[in-house]
């Protein structure tokens, strides 16, 4: 009964990954579910630490009961191995291309071609984490996204947080970031963040949505019937708006924070009225005394693992396949087919890496990906409604992108001294000089000349910004000259998806973790059934 089961590895235990694990288990597979946090939930269902022993964890969550049931079902399943505090630091192709392409060789069965998964388990960034290697039959990537924040003068000051950080601190740490907080940027996410801050006892002065009412109305009202399918989301949104109204927090559209000031920490923000293209209306600047600022201009999908797996990307704007040789590779997502299959054999993708559409859409994508990855029947009748919900989710993602675009004139906020790369302290002036140099705006040249993107975060924060600015400063997309032996430069390519210490790298991998039921003790090395 056990040995020939399909083994599905799921990376990420947020709404998409948890749903994928559940569907794969239902289809009969053995599942290894990996997440960097101690508990499932991801950013959306961020759980309180176990040590808090919270009596009412549902207070902070939308849809807590359904999530809690699913979490328990998955973790308690005898065929599920749960790997908390575990990161995937590399994906490795198990078969060199030459071997696969040799004539007359049909190659190994398709299901065995998923990449090898290199894991590191233990306290984050610790020196004694344990290394494991998985060789799954199929891999579901559900790694999610993080806040995108456009730079503006002063965004590097302490007390300026991403909106996601403010929410994580409120929900996970029970810390309120300040008494006079401005929440600014674009997107519906600003609302739950403001509500989380209020719940934690913070004071919220105002919520600033950078897009104008006309842009919002155009984006949201076109094809309004699509929204009827998303009544859950609409209800959630309505609850946020009611909460803000109750606390008398103004929600202003067409206004953005374009500067922050302070001695050693943020003390004041400068906001301004914006036109539809996000250029500042002259004379509309206003300063506000604050003790914290929370910003978000949308989300960046975490693409290092999809790229390491060899998944093709698409441009968000055009929908066309992404051209890896262009320096303007900004908004890109993983290409998936009707079964959530990526272009890489044995690799599936679900959730925000295929398009930003929120938790309900991520869940249905996960369900479909997990079922198919486990070898479930693609024509199963129950999948019909799942596919329909998935298509509605994709339509919602397009609507979201239309209603909350980043206006092309935002670089008008920058001054030569504005920090662009937070890690390396590269400023806008240095970037402009590098692009104007005779070597041109090729991504590698810009990197080496300015160090932008070469710091500890490896361009995760500044990457999309640097790519966009260099493309613009260099008058349009720059064609990279190919370098012999090197893949085309892209802002998301990170051969090591996660920092690993040399001692950990040198230590031999331990046998793969096994289901550890019923007590959920840490995995003990037992007999090896892999390979």
Partner 1 sequence: MSPRRIPVDADAVGRREVPLRITVDGEPLDGIAGQTIAGVLLAAGRLAWRRGPSGAPRGVFCGIGVCFDCLVSVGDERDVRACRRRARDGDVITTQRRVGNGFNSPSEEEE
Q: What span, in angstroms and rounded, lies between the C-alpha atoms of 67 and 14?
A: 10
The answer to whether residues 258 and 150 touch, using CB atoms and an 8 Å cutoff, is no
Q: Confirm or reject binding of residue 175 to partner 1 (CB under 8 A).
A: yes
Coil, strand or helix at 73: helix
Instruction: Pick from 126, 232, 416, 522 the residue near partner 1 by CB under 8 A.
Output: 126
Q: Report in angstroms how near the CB of residue 325 gets to partner 1 at its nearest.
A: 26
Give the separation between CA 258 and CA 280, rounded to whole angstroms.
9
Residue whose token pair is 């040995």: 3
CB of 387 vs partner 1, minimal distance in Å:
31
* Binder of partner 1 out of 423, 431, 445, 471 (CB under 8 A): 423
Phi, psi of 130 (to 5 degrees): -100, 135
Using CB under 8 A as the binding rule, whether residue 50 contacts partner 1 is answered as yes
Q: Cα–Cα distance between 81 and 341 in angstroms, integer?
A: 23
Q: List the x/- string, 438-477, binding to partner 1 by CB under 8 A.
A: -----------------xxx--xx----------------
> Residue 303: which of 314, 293, 292 has the closest Cα?
314
d(CA 344, CA 44): 28
Q: Which of 173, 285, 338, 530 binds partner 1 (CB under 8 A)?
A: 173
Nearer to partner 1, 1 or 53 (CB): 53
Task: Give the per-residue contact string, 186-225, with partner 1 (x = CB under 8 A; - = no).
Answer: -------------xxx------------------------
* 56 lines the binding site for partner 1 (CB under 8 A): yes
Shortest Å, Cβ 103 to partner 1: 45
Which range binds partner 1 by CB under 8 A, 14-22, 53-61, 384-392, 408-416?
A: 53-61
Least distance in angstroms from the C-beta of 176 to partner 1: 6
The Cβ-side half-sphere exposure at 153, using a 13 Å CA radius, reads 15
How far, in Å, CA of 352 to CA of 459, rounded?
19
| 117: CB partners within 8 A, 6+ apart | 9, 11, 34, 88, 91, 133, 134, 135, 136, 139
Q: Is 416 in the site for partner 1 (CB under 8 A)?
A: no
Identify which of residues 163 and 274 has a Cβ nearer to partner 1 in the complex: 163
Q: Which of 92, 99, 179, 377 binds partner 1 (CB under 8 A)?
A: 179
Between 166 and 313, CB nearer to partner 1: 166
Q: Does 261 bind partner 1 (CB under 8 A)?
A: no
Out of 32, 36, 39, 81, point to the residue binding partner 1 (CB under 8 A): 36
Q: Binding segment for partner 1 among 92-100, 109-117, 159-167, 324-332 (CB under 8 A)?
A: 159-167
Rounded to the nearest 10°, the torsion over CA 255, 466, 420, 303 is: 90
Q: What's the burial of 484, exposed, middle or buried (CB within 10 Å: 0-12/13-18/19+)?
A: exposed
Task: Kindly indicate which of the ranges 152-160, 359-367, 439-447, 515-523 contains the residues binding partner 1, using the contact rule CB under 8 A.
Answer: 152-160
Is 422 among the residues that bind partner 1 (CB under 8 A)?
yes
| Residue 509 Cβ vs partner 1, minimum distance, rounded to whole Å | 21
Report d(CA 69, CA 221) in Å as an integer: 35
Distance from C-alpha of 39 to C-alpha of 37, rounded to nearest angstrom: 5
Q: How far apart are CA 435 and CA 428, in angstroms?
A: 11
Q: Which of residues 312-331 bind partner 1 (CB under 8 A)?
A: none
Exposed (0-12), middle (13-18) or buried (19+): which is 178, by Cβ within 10 Å? buried
Contact code string over 267-296 relative to partner 1, x by CB under 8 A = ------------------------xx----
Task: Find the part of the chain contacting partner 1 (CB under 8 A) among 21-29, 171-179, 250-258, 332-340.
Answer: 171-179
Q: Which of 251, 252, 255 is nearest to 210 (CA)?
A: 255
Pairing of strands 160-162, 181-185: unpaired
166 is an interface residue for partner 1 by CB under 8 A: yes
Q: Does 125 bind partner 1 (CB under 8 A)?
A: yes
Question: For binding to partner 1 (CB under 8 A), which residues are involved?
Answer: 36, 38, 43, 48-57, 59-60, 123-127, 146-147, 156, 158-162, 164-169, 172-180, 199-201, 264-265, 291-292, 422-425, 455-457, 460-461, 499
């Amino acid at each position: 009964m056990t040995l020939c089961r399909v083994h599905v590895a799921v990376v990420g235990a947020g709404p998409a990954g948890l749903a994928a694990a559940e569907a794969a288990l239902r289809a009969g597979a053995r599942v290894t579910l990996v997440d960097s946090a101690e508990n499932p939930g991801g950013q959306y269902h961020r759980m309180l630490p176990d040590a808090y022993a919270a009596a009412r964890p549902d207070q902070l969550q939308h849809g807590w009961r359904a999530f809690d049931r699913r979490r328990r079902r998955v973790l308690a399943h005898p065929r599920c191995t749960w790997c908390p505090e575990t990161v995937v630091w590399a994906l490795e192709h198990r078969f060199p291309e030459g071997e696969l392409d040799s004539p007359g060789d049909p190659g190994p069965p398709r299901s065995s071609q998923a990449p090898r998964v290199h894991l590191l388990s233990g306290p984050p960034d610790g020196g004694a984490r344990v290394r494991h290697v998985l060789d799954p039959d199929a891999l579901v990537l559900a790694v999610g996204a993080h806040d995108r924040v456009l730079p503006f003068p002063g965004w590097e000051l302490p007390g300026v947080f991403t909106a996601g950080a403010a929410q994580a601190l409120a929900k996970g740490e029970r810390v309120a970031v300040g008494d006079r907080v401005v929440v600014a940027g674009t997107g519906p996410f600003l609302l739950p963040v403001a509500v989380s801050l209020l719940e934690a006892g913070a004071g919220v002065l105002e919520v600033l949505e950078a897009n104008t009412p006309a842009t919002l109305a155009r984006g949201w009202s076109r094809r309004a019937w699509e929204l009827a399918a998303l009544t859950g989301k609409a209800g959630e949104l309505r609850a946020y708006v009611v909460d803000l109204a109750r606390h008398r927090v103004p929600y202003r559209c067409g206004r953005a924070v374009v500067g922050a000031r302070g001695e050693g920490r943020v003390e004041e923000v400068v906001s301004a009225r914006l036109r539809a293209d996000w250029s500042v209306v002259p004379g509309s600047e206003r300063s506000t005394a604050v003790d914290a600022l929370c910003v978000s201009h949308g989300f960046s999908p975490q693409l290092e693992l999809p790229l390491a797996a060899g998944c093709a990307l698409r441009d968000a704007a055009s929908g066309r396949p992404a051209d890896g040789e262009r320096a303007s590779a900004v908004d890109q997502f993983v290409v998936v087919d009707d079964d959530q299959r990526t272009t890489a054999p044995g690799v599936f993708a679900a959730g925000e890496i295929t398009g930003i559409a929120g938790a309900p859409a991520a869940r249905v994508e996960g369900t479909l990906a997990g079922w198919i990855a486990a070898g479930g029947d693609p024509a199963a009748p129950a999948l019909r409604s799942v596919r329909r919900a998935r298509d509605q989710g994709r339509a919602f993602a397009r609507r979201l992108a239309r209603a909350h675009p980043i206006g092309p004139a935002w670089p008008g906020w920058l001054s030569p001294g504005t920090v662009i790369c937070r890690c390396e302290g590269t400023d806008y002036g240095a970037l402009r000089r590098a692009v104007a140099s005779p070597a041109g705006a090729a991504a590698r040249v810009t990197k080496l000349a300015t160090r932008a993107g070469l710091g500890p975060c490896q361009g995760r924060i500044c990457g999309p910004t640097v790519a966009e600015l260099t493309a613009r400063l260099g008058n349009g997309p720059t064609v990279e000259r190919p370098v012999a032996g090197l893949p085309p430069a892209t802002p998301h390519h990170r051969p090591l998806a996660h920092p690993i210490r040399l001692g950990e790298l040198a230590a031999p991998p331990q046998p793969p973790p096994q289901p550890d039921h019923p007590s959920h003790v840490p995995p003990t090395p037992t007999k090896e059934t892999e390979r």
